[in-house]
Amino acid sequence: MAGLAESGSNPDVDLLYDINGLAKDAPHWFDRVMEFVGEWGLLLAMVMLVLWCWLTVRKRGGEDAASSVAALVWAPLAAGVAVLVNVPIRGFVERPRPFVDHDGLDVLIGGKSDFSFVSDHATLMMAMGVGLFVANRKFGLVGIALGLFGGFCRVYMGVHYPTDVIGGFALGTAVVLLLSPLAMALLTPVVAAVERSPRVGWLVRSRGASGGPGKVIPGARSEVEAEERDLAA
- Domains delineated in the chain: 11-232 (1.20.144)
Is residue 55's pLDDT more than 90? Answer: no
Burial of 230 (0-12, 13-18, 19+ CB in 10 A): exposed
Alpha-carbon gap, residue 197 to 41, rounded angstroms: 36
pLDDT of residue 86: 94
DSSP structure class, residue 209? -
- Each residue of 70-123: pLDDT tens digit? 999 999 999 999 999 999 999 898 899 998 888 888 888 887 888 889 999 999
Alpha-carbon gap, residue 192 to 172, rounded angstroms: 26
- Phi and psi at 96, nearest 5°, equal -65, 160
- Mean per-residue pLDDT for 26-36? 91
pTM of the model: 0.80
Alpha-carbon gap, residue 116 to 119, rounded angstroms: 6
Within 32-182, strands assigned E span none
Is residue 9's pLDDT more than 80? Answer: no
Judged by DSSP in three states, 4 sits in coil
